[in-house]
């Protein structure tokens, strides 16, 4: 999937599909504090959503010597 076609507020399934990893692994990243390598997100009841910009910021931090997990 192309970066521009991702929804503005992404679900774990959106992220898993883009990264070609399991949703379980995405939820593990969502449970981590962003300072420890987790993905910054908003929670609405039981649902977690990630803004597209935060997701790509998280990828950039991991590429450029950010926290590695």
Every domain of the chain and the residues it spans: 3-63
pLDDT band at 2 (very low <50, low <70, confident <90, very high): confident
Residue 69 has pLDDT above 60, yes or no: no
Q: Read off the tokens for 5.
A: 């076609």
Distance CA 34, CA 48 (A): 14
Long-range CB contact pairs, 63-66, < 8 A, 24+: 66/37
Q: Read off the tokens for 26.
A: 């995405």
Taking each helix axis as running N to C, give the angle between helix 12-19 and helix 23-31, from 0 to 180 degrees, rounded to the nearest 10. 120
Q: Which pLDDT tens digit goes with each residue over 13-60?
A: 999 999 999 999 999 999 999 999 999 999 999 999 999 999 999 999
Match 């991991």 to its residue by tokens: 62
Q: Read off the tokens for 54.
A: 């935060």
pTM of the model: 0.86
């Amino acid at each position: 999937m192309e970066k521009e076609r991702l929804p503005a507020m992404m679900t774990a399934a959106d992220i898993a599909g883009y990264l070609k990893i399991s949703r379980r692994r995405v939820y593990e990243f969502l449970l981590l504090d962003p300072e420890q390598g987790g993905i910054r997100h908003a929670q609405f009841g039981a649902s977690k959503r990630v803004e597209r910009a935060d997701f790509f910021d998280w990828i950039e931090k991991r590429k450029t010597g950010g926290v590695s997990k």
